[in-house]
Amino acid sequence: MMTFSPQLEQKFAKMLTSYPEGKKRSAVVPMLIYAQDEVGSITPELIEEVARRCEVTPLQVDEVVGYYSMLHRKPMGKYHVQVCTNISCLLVGGMELYQHACKKLGIGHKQVTPDGQFSLEEVECMGACSWAPAVEINYDFHHHITPEKLDQLIDALSSIDALSSNGLRKAH
């Protein structure tokens, strides 16, 4: 049995009552994605847990995991950088932006930096077409992104972490 944070447990309790009687299976996809955010990836243990809560077999959860592109069986970076190269972004430099991101982070599609801080994904249209090229880092949208702006975003995230780990060291 796994337990999640109190906030997530509260969300799941409400979620399981939102579908008609006997239809707890409906919670499988949302439960997986919210749990992934907390656990880091879809682990076999998590699959068992979601199956238990939604009253289905682990296999019925497992087959769902393979279908949805946002569900990952291995952990992505702390900051998951998603660069759109679909048509609207492509026309205004999305592909160049993605290639720049590969170079900047030293990783490719769905890879994670050795320190686990960043991961990269070339994604399909995420609904930011009129403000292209667009990047989503975790769940934050960034519009009209140039290679320079992407560098700034990544550098800022790196320095936040450098600061907070210094802070931790001081506290100890």
Partner 1 sequence: MPKKLYNQPSPLETQILSKRFRLDNSESLTTYLANDGFKAFRKAHEMKPEAIIEEVKTSALRGRGGAGFPTGLKWSFVPRSSPKPKYIVINADESEPGTCKDRLLMEYDPHQMIEGILIAGLALDAHKGYLYIRGEYRYLIDHMDRAIAEAYSQGYLGKNILGTGFDFDLYTHSGAGAYECGEETALLDSLEGKRGIPRMKPPFPAVAGAWASPTLLNNVETFSAIPAIIRDGGAAFAALGTPKNGGTRLLCISGHVNKPGVYEVPLGYPMLKFIDEIAGGIPGGKKLKAVIPGGSSCPILRADECDIPMDYDSLAKIGSMLGSGGMVVMDETTDMVKVALRIMRFYAHESCGWCIPCREGTTWLRKILQRFDDGGGKHEDVALLGELSRNMLGRTFCALGDAAAMPTISIVEKFAEDFEKRLARDRQLVTV
Nearer to partner 1, 64 or 157 (CB): 64
Sign of CA dihedral 27, 28, 30, 34: positive
Q: Could you give the CA distance from residue 144 to residue 6 in angstroms, rounded to a whole number?
A: 37
* Cα 1–chain centre separation: 24
Least Å distance, CB 22 to partner 1, is 9
Q: Show contacts of 48-51: CB within 8 Å, 24+ apart.
A: 49/1, 49/2
Q: Which residues bind partner 1 (CB under 8 A)?
A: 18-20, 23, 25-30, 32-34, 54, 56, 60, 63-64, 67-71, 85-88, 90-92, 123-132, 136, 139-141, 143
We find the least distance from the C-beta atom of residue 116 to partner 1, in angstroms, to be: 22
Nearer to partner 1, 94 or 170 (CB): 94
C-beta closer to partner 1: residue 143 or 167: 143
Coil vs helix vs strand at 121: strand
Contacts of residue 96, defined as CB under 8 A and 6 or more positions apart, other chains included, come to 147
For residue 103, the minimal CB distance to partner 1 (Å) is 21
Rounded to a whole number of angstroms, the minimum distance from the CB of residue 162 to partner 1 is 26
The smaller minimum CB distance to partner 1, of residues 19 and 163, is found at 19
